[in-house]
Amino acid sequence: MYNFTNDYNETAHPELLKVFCETANQKLTGYGFDEYCNNAKENIRKQLKSPNADIHFMPGGTITNLTVISHILKPYQAVIAADSGHVNVHETGAIEATGHKVLTATTTDGKLTPELIKPILTFHSDEHMVQPKLVYISNTTELGTIYTQQELKKLYQFCQKNDLYLYLDGARLAMALAAQENNITFPDLAKYTDVFYIGGTKVGAFAGETVIFNNTKLNKDFRFSMKQKGAILAKSWIVAVQMNALMQNNLYLTLGQHSNHMANKLKMIFEKAKLTFLAKPQSNQLFVNFPNKLAKKIQDHYVVDCLGQTDSQHTCLRFCTSWATKEEEINSFAKQFQKWL
Amino acid sequence: MYNFTNDYNETAHPELLKVFCETANQKLTGYGFDEYCNNAKENIRKQLKSPNADIHFMPGGTITNLTVISHILKPYQAVIAADSGHVNVHETGAIEATGHKVLTATTTDGKLTPELIKPILTFHSDEHMVQPKLVYISNTTELGTIYTQQELKKLYQFCQKNDLYLYLDGARLAMALAAQENNITFPDLAKYTDVFYIGGTKVGAFAGETVIFNNTKLNKDFRFSMKQKGAILAKSWIVAVQMNALMQNNLYLTLGQHSNHMANKLKMIFEKAKLTFLAKPQSNQLFVNFPNKLAKKIQDHYVVDCLGQTDSQHTCLRFCTSWATKEEEINSFAKQFQKWL
Amino acid sequence: MYNFTNDYNETAHPELLKVFCETANQKLTGYGFDEYCNNAKENIRKQLKSPNADIHFMPGGTITNLTVISHILKPYQAVIAADSGHVNVHETGAIEATGHKVLTATTTDGKLTPELIKPILTFHSDEHMVQPKLVYISNTTELGTIYTQQELKKLYQFCQKNDLYLYLDGARLAMALAAQENNITFPDLAKYTDVFYIGGTKVGAFAGETVIFNNTKLNKDFRFSMKQKGAILAKSWIVAVQMNALMQNNLYLTLGQHSNHMANKLKMIFEKAKLTFLAKPQSNQLFVNFPNKLAKKIQDHYVVDCLGQTDSQHTCLRFCTSWATKEEEINSFAKQFQKWL
Amino acid sequence: MYNFTNDYNETAHPELLKVFCETANQKLTGYGFDEYCNNAKENIRKQLKSPNADIHFMPGGTITNLTVISHILKPYQAVIAADSGHVNVHETGAIEATGHKVLTATTTDGKLTPELIKPILTFHSDEHMVQPKLVYISNTTELGTIYTQQELKKLYQFCQKNDLYLYLDGARLAMALAAQENNITFPDLAKYTDVFYIGGTKVGAFAGETVIFNNTKLNKDFRFSMKQKGAILAKSWIVAVQMNALMQNNLYLTLGQHSNHMANKLKMIFEKAKLTFLAKPQSNQLFVNFPNKLAKKIQDHYVVDCLGQTDSQHTCLRFCTSWATKEEEINSFAKQFQKWL
């Protein structure tokens, strides 16, 4: 039964496995102080055109989010997120477990805007309520949509003006930056966020995400927070070499592009069938409203996430493609799908 | 400038001051083991008709909520509350600071129902999300509404069936039980909640709330949690004697009734003026929608809470009366108000 | 059975009850913004000769410690305390519950010195260990000893030099400042600590401690932390009026002096009997090593804390006197004690 | 400069790299539900002769300790550890960050015994102190010593009797079980601990530790805690395949044995030079007291951990060998060392 559930079902891209295996038979300094880590950081700084960026290698996405956010905030400060935000829904209260409330704005596309944040700031007026302080966004969002450079810049300027920090979760950053409609560059991320992370696990790495502090007022003693949360890998180079390889020869964006391309093929199939989408299809995740019966048939033959019924007649299924999705798998699905229509 | 903002603007009811002063010139055991505490507990148990209720005296409402909830829940378990719930809005993230997420249901009247809770349970299906475990309600609610006995019982039975705990915040319990439309008794609270507290501060005490564990599977080692959160007063009897006095001769309900009665007089004034209410007026808090200009005038002459505009033409003001509100204060307001109409 | 266990067994000193009752029959602003609070703050600032001191009224000692410390520290920072320190032993892990480790130095007299702190700083060298940041001392200490002005100043200067904060727990500050050997003044506390609190509960108040931030880089948004921990009393004036009365006419020190004086009488009785002390008797707590049999007799007739055996022949008992201890109670004990020798 | 600082300086043992690479080019279920994980669990259960053991794959040691401990304890419960215990010293307060105090016993060999624990239990008598609940031990200990089966069994029985849980940190379990003086088996670990973990990172894995719950009253909802702390790897099989390989053909113990064997060669060199050890050399870590000058020379030519001076004449250096240490490296050191004597 073919699997369209997510983009982390394969161990790693061959190039990443290769560079990883090349680290064997060496004696390396532990905890992130080896040459592989240093090189990877240098290369990332170049990509970002940000020579002072402070860079750290982390084992996974949830631990990255909770370590960064709890490091930055005072105990009574809160996160602002879209209601669909990963930290709000799918991290088992990881942020709250470090003591911080997640305030949410209702969105249809998973994206935050100054207009959505303003009422939250206005409402939280005194010490009987938490103090909103960090804006959490993801790109691509949990609904597969992307931010434009203009939107990101506007949001960042709004944050600056309102004494808020802007943190971008880049679990699927490759798909965002490789999206057809994207106009954000790596240097933009360095300019228009305080902190962000470049996701590896969903873009061909077997594990590992890379945190970048652009705002170097926020990163003091960050390694203390990392160690306390269990986020410093003894052999940090296992993440660094993968990230380094992803930064070479545009591999990161190439993998993102392939993921998007495969999703786009699915999108065209669904559009042809006059189906609608829960959110605008812009990257490697599609949220498609199927007539209930059709949804049932698909689920009987394919592994996909089901988001439940969107109305009495329709069921929303998520299709997620990856760097490893093959064109023939899409074609095979297309053939099957035609028969069910 | 007369103050209708809240019900905790006076030190204490004379009867409570009297019994409090009678504790002077004695040598008493500390930390809640004195005779005043024992007597008060005994009397409360009688009122509740619940000989095994486990009772504790606390300094205030927020510390009561955070101590009880963090004592009961496992780290990954969450609270379910109305979006207007005090723990969600007005305790500066106290629950999150102990590590727990507060999940919310949108309500118009501040009251939770099985129907509002069900989708939350359905949605939280696996370990990537928090586990909903404790239902938090307040009676009266933050919008001044009350639960009926049937509603409370239904909610409790739903909780039982779904392996949830039901906790009732009784900061304004006196006003709830003394409301005209109320049919809940003290023994009902012992039967239809797992834990609740009887509020003192808003009902004539100078400080102090009383926690009652009906579900004696939940209270093991509760004094450890109390001490850790700073909730054991060395001189706990200062709360106990007040609570004991409130339980004598129906004083608690009498004070609640007076608070409601004064609010009811205001309500009639506003109804006569054809004004509408944000939530059904049932106790000592009224949320009244005034034409903007009238709201402005009232605010110039009276201290009241402003909840902002409900539409472009209207501003919502909260009037809150107390055991100490005098009929002539209402009459004086009425006279003034007539002139503005 | 007469009780020498502690100094918080009486409701309140008559003068404090008097000023407290005078607050009745008034309508006051809640949450610490009333005139009583303002006046008390003004008077305390005068006593401290510190016009910018930031002052807050708290319900009790443990909640004061945990609120102040968790407000000041970053998640990976730790407290340094004497092993006998109240935050280390007798607050049920309240500091750890807010996320911070308490590092301890072994002392014989309950007092910290730069020499005791230095090895802790040296040992904690990198991000695999917590970062020592706040030095917690109590005056009087948990062993009844006191700091001299020279010791406090030296400790503060050491902290300044090593980028540490100095916090003084003044639960029994009255006894410290009123001790015969004391040469610390209120203005010294403003000069030589970053934060401290003036204890009320053990000096004649029915509840309430007063926090003073001398270092106004640390108090930003402190009321958010207070509210979150449940430390803002709706009727904060109940603490303020008591504290204000204690600051008038030297009452605070007079009560401390009486407590010490009563302990000193006991001390002379024990010295006459050639008994030794666990720590130098300097205030209202005596830790006396009794031959086991004598200890047993005392415990049969008096309520005192037992600290266990100090060697196979001796048992250590704590005698604690208060502002309310009467000279005849000491005399009565003396008479009884003579018979047992 | 050759490196004797630790046992995690190489990426991975060739066999582990091999099985890891074999997972490429497959589509696997995420979050630990794939066949590699299932097989590894089955094989571990066989090794333990414990068909009901509940097994989880974790990214590293600190996150394992904090996730297990915070899952098991109530907020006011504390850990008991040797003062040298990893959770006490080298995890940046990770346990305290989850809210729990670590109580310590002073040891000379890093090992806990009932005799060391008893006074802690006696001392913690009421709700003003934390409640000791979980005993944390490591095998090998942080000083390189090991537990015998008799010691482990006695400790476990003591825990059972005193309502304590026993948790064993097995970061270097391979070295413990492969030690010459060891008589503990895998099935013993299943019988005489409540929870333990089998370390991978220090025994040839590039990352990953494996938690085993023997006491299946403690593991309910453990995956919720894992997710919340960021401990569920999307591609959990990357740990599972390594652990599975380590369990095949005795590889785990073979690697431990080699590590110990290399250390033993060093030990003989040092003994011949009449040097003393801080703790009995039993595994792959040696803590050697060198005359200061000699210590200086060694540090100039080799990378080793320095624990500081043990007296004015001596400096303690730690030598740590691994599965990858080569005999010629020992011989080369021996030759150099002879010249310095």
Residues of B in contact with C8 (CB under 8 A): 30, 234-235
Q: How close does chain C come to B322, measured CA to CA in Å?
A: 11
Asked if residue D255 has pLDDT above 90, the reply is yes
Mean pLDDT in residue range D268-284 = 97
pLDDT tens-digit map of D40-64: 999 999 999 999 999 999 999 999 9
In angstroms, what is the C-alpha Rg of chain A? 20
Q: Is the same domain home to D240 and D287?
A: no
Q: Is the same domain home to D230 and D331?
A: no
Mean pLDDT score of chain D: 97
The CA dihedral of A281, A282, A285, A289, to the nearest 10 degrees, is -10
Q: What is the CATH number of the domain that holds C309?
A: 3.90.1150.10
pLDDT value of position B1: 74
Residue C3: pLDDT band with limits 50, 70, 90: confident
Q: Which residue, among B160, B222, B147, has the nearest Cα to B188 in the 3D structure? A: B147
Q: Is the same domain home to B80 and B30?
A: yes
Q: Which residue, among B125, B62, B127, B75, has the nearest Cα to B101 in the 3D structure? A: B75
C-beta atoms of D127 and C92 within 8 A: yes
Residue C142 forms contact with D (CB below 8 Å): no
Distance linking the first and last C-alpha atoms of chain C: 20
Give A211's strand partners: A56, A197
CB-facing half-sphere around the CA of D12: CA atoms within 13 A: 26
Residues of chain B with pLDDT under 50: none
Q: Is the same domain home to B222 and B103?
A: yes
Q: Is the same domain home to B46 and B182?
A: yes
- Domain boundary, last residue among C251, C286, C318: C251
pLDDT value of position A3: 86
Domain hosting C88: range is: 14-251
pLDDT value of position C1: 74
Q: Give which of B19, B69, B206 to mutate to test C binding, by max C Cβ within 10 Å.
A: B206
C-beta atoms of C8 and B235 within 8 A: yes
Residues of C in contact with B229 (CB under 8 A): 63, 66, 94, 97, 229-230
Q: Which residue, among C96, A64, B78, B75, has the nearest Cα to D225 in the 3D structure? A: B75
Residue A307 forms contact with B (CB below 8 Å): no
Q: What is the largest CA-CA distance in chain C?
A: 61
pLDDT value of position D185: 98
Q: Is the same domain home to B204 and B123?
A: yes
Residues of C in contact with D127 (CB under 8 A): 92
| A107 within some domain | yes
Residue D124 forms contact with B (CB below 8 Å): no
Question: Which residue of chain D is at minimal alpha-carbon distance from A325?
Answer: D27
| A33 within some domain | yes
Which chains form contacts with chain B, at 3 or more CB pairs under 8 Å? A, C, D
Name the H helices within C248-326: 251-272, 292-301
Q: How close does chain B come to D222, measured CA to CA in Å?
A: 9
Q: Is the same domain home to A163 and A193?
A: yes
Q: b/e per residue, C2-15, with b = 16+ CB within 10 A?
A: ebbbbbbbbbbbeb
- Domain boundary, last residue among B249, B280, B302: B249
C-beta atoms of D9 and A25 within 8 A: no
> Which residue among C70, C127, C224 places its CB closest to the CB of A131?
C224
* Bridge pairing between strands A209-213 and A54-58: antiparallel
| A324 within some domain | yes
Residue C2: pLDDT band with limits 50, 70, 90: confident
Residues of A in contact with B75 (CB under 8 A): 97
Mean pLDDT in residue range C170-177 = 98
CB–CB of B303/B3 below 8 Å? yes
Mean pLDDT score of chain C: 97
Share above pLDDT 90 across residues of chain D, in percent, rounded to a whole number: 99
Domains in chain D: how many in total?
2
Burial tier of B153 (Cβ tally within 10 Å: 0-12, 13-18, 19+) = middle
pLDDT tens-digit map of B145-184: 999 999 999 999 999 999 999 999 999 999 999 999 999 9
| A319 within some domain | yes
Q: Is the same domain home to A60 and A154?
A: yes
* D240 vs D209: CA distance, rounded Å: 9
| A15 within some domain | no
- Domain boundary, last residue among C251, C285, C303: C251
Burial tier of B167 (Cβ tally within 10 Å: 0-12, 13-18, 19+) = buried
pLDDT value of position D1: 74
Residue at A78: amino acid letter: A
pLDDT tens-digit map of C294-319: 999 999 999 999 999 999 999 999 99
C-beta atoms of B96 and A91 within 8 A: no
Crossing angle between the packed helical segments C61-72 and C222-229, to the nearest 10 degrees: 130
Mean pLDDT in residue range C140-147 = 98
Residue A70 forms contact with C (CB below 8 Å): yes
Angle at C213 between CA C211 and CA C216, to 5 degrees: 155
C-beta atoms of B8 and C30 within 8 A: yes
Tell me the residues of chain B between 85 and 104 that have a Cβ less than 8 Å away from chain A.
Answer: 89-93, 96-102
Q: Is the same domain home to D216 and D158?
A: yes
Mean pLDDT score of chain A: 97
Order of strands, sheet of B314-320, starting from the edge strand that comes earlier in the sequence: B276-277, B285-291, B314-320, B305-311
Q: Is the same domain home to A139 and A261?
A: no
In angstroms, what is the C-alpha Rg of chain D? 20
C-beta atoms of A94 and D25 within 8 A: no
| Residues counted in chain C | 341
CB-facing half-sphere around the CA of A162: CA atoms within 13 A: 24
Mean pLDDT in residue range C241-254 = 97
Burial tier of B339 (Cβ tally within 10 Å: 0-12, 13-18, 19+) = exposed
Residues of B in contact with A97 (CB under 8 A): 75-76, 99
* B211 vs B60: CA distance, rounded Å: 11
Q: Is the same domain home to B175 and B284?
A: no
C-beta atoms of A230 and D201 within 8 A: no
CB–CB of C75/A225 below 8 Å? yes
Q: What is the CATH number of the domain that holds A104?
A: 3.40.640.10
Q: Which residue, among D136, D203, D129, D127, has the nearest Cα to D165 in the 3D structure? A: D136
Task: Look at residue A108 and give its three-state secondary structure.
Answer: coil
CB–CB of D241/D205 below 8 Å? no
Residues of A in contact with D231 (CB under 8 A): 63, 230
* C259 vs C250: CA distance, rounded Å: 14
Q: How close does chain D come to C238, measured CA to CA in Å?
A: 26
Residue C129 forms contact with D (CB below 8 Å): yes
Q: Which residue has the higher pLDDT, B341 or D291?
A: D291
Question: Which residue of chain D is at minimal alpha-carbon distance from A21?
Answer: D17
Mean pLDDT in residue range C260-265 = 98
C-beta atoms of D229 and A230 within 8 A: yes
pLDDT tens-digit map of C56-87: 999 999 999 999 999 999 999 999 999 999 99
Residues 6+ apart with CB under 8 A from D252: D174, D177, D198, D203, D246
pTM score of the predicted model: 0.98
* A201 vs D264: CA distance, rounded Å: 41
> Which residue among D89, D96, D129 places its CB closest to the CB of C100?
D96
How big is the A-D interface in CB pairs under 8 Å?
156
> Which residue among A76, A89, A90 places its CB closest to the CB of B92?
A76
Residues of chain A with pLDDT under 70: none
Mean pLDDT in residue range D231-244 = 98
Q: Give which of C76, C95, C221, C225 to mutate to test A binding, by max A Cβ within 10 Å.
A: C76
* D49 vs D54: CA distance, rounded Å: 13
Task: Look at residue C227 and give its three-state secondary structure.
Answer: helix
pLDDT value of position B293: 97
* B17 vs D191: CA distance, rounded Å: 61
Q: Give which of A65, A69, A70, A96 to mutate to test B binding, by max B Cβ within 10 Å.
A: A96
C-beta atoms of A24 and D11 within 8 A: yes
pLDDT tens-digit map of A117-155: 999 999 999 999 999 999 999 999 999 999 999 999 999
Residue D18 forms contact with A (CB below 8 Å): no
| Residues counted in chain A | 341
Question: Which residue of chain A is at minimal alpha-carbon distance from D231?
Answer: A63
Residue A64 forms contact with D (CB below 8 Å): yes
Q: Is the same domain home to B240 and B263?
A: no
C-beta atoms of D96 and C92 within 8 A: no
Q: How close does chain A come to D224, measured CA to CA in Å?
A: 7
Residues of D in contact with C127 (CB under 8 A): 92
CB–CB of D187/D232 below 8 Å? no
